[in-house]
Structure formats: structure tokens, C-alpha cells
Amino acid sequence: MKLNYVFSGDGRAISPPVFDGLETLGMSGLEIAKISGVSPPTISKWRNGHVLVPNEIVVLLTLVLASRLEDVFEKNEAENTVNQTWTLDQRVGLEAAREDLEAQEKINHNLPPIIVRAGAIRFRYWWNAQERLKTIEMQVNAGHVHQFVTAY
């Protein structure tokens, strides 16, 4: 039996809290599927409890959720320097995502270290790919600015 699951009365697995947190932050099933390296129908089966999520993937998604929460806080801090306020919906959403992350981390605490390591390695590959994309985007944007400036 997988350590990361609680089963409902009908024998189906209850979806790990990490899925709710990612959804709260606006991540679609398609994005989760790309990160996890599976098809979107598999994500649906995981969310509905028809198929158990491999613990390595749960660790990966937990780290992605933590990373996304950090990104949201950084982005909002940069944007809210003038008015320093978040809407009630933003605060409630962020608090819900933070609670989902906290609940998932408590569950993950019982996982064997080898599983956590495997999930962390997958996260590192995903994160490095994201950073590479950001760098390429910055270089492309800088190139457009350079082309614009030299045209005039």
C-alpha cells in the first residue's frame, strides 16, 4: 500500500492535497500532466482517486506547489509596492494553497528518503528547465529591445 494515501469508504483513494493547492494557484491539469510526464487523462484518474499517484510524483508536485507559492508572493510583493494590499480573494486563495502545501508536507514526512530524493531530483530537472526558459525569454526580449533601439 502506498504511504501517501487515505482511502474513502468506496475504496477509492482520496486525492492528495497538492492537487487542490496547484488548482488554487491556477495550474491546469494539462500543466500538471506536462510536469509529471503523464497524459491529462492520467491526472484526471489521479484526482478522482481511480489510480494512485506514485509517491515520487507527489513529492515533485509538492515542490512545484511550494515554488509556485514563492513565485506568487514575490510577484505580488513587487506589484504591490505602491498600494501594499491584496484583495480578499487573493488572500483567501493564497492561504488555501498554503494550507494544502502544509497538509501535503505532513503526509510526505512519512515517505521513505529514497522516494523524496527521487521526487526532488525530478523537481530539480523541472526547475532548471523553467529557469532556462526564463533566461531564453529574457534574451529574446532583450534582443527585441536592441533591434528596436538600433532601428531608430
Grid coordinates belonging to 11 = 475504496
Grid coordinates belonging to 101 = 502545501
Instruction: Report the mean per-residue pLDDT for the chain.
Output: 81
Exposure of 87 in the CB half-sphere (CA atoms within 13 A): 3
pTM of the model: 0.76
pLDDT at 11: 58
The yes-or-no verdict on residue 18 having pLDDT over 80 is yes
Grid coordinates belonging to 104 = 501535503
pLDDT at 141: 59
pLDDT at 99: 94
pLDDT band at 36 (very low <50, low <70, confident <90, very high): very high
pLDDT at 12: 64
Written as one string, the DSSP assignment of 28-96 is: -HHHHHHHHTS-HHHHHHHHHTSSPPPHHHHHHHHHHHHHHHHHHHHHHHHHTTTT----HHHHHHHHH
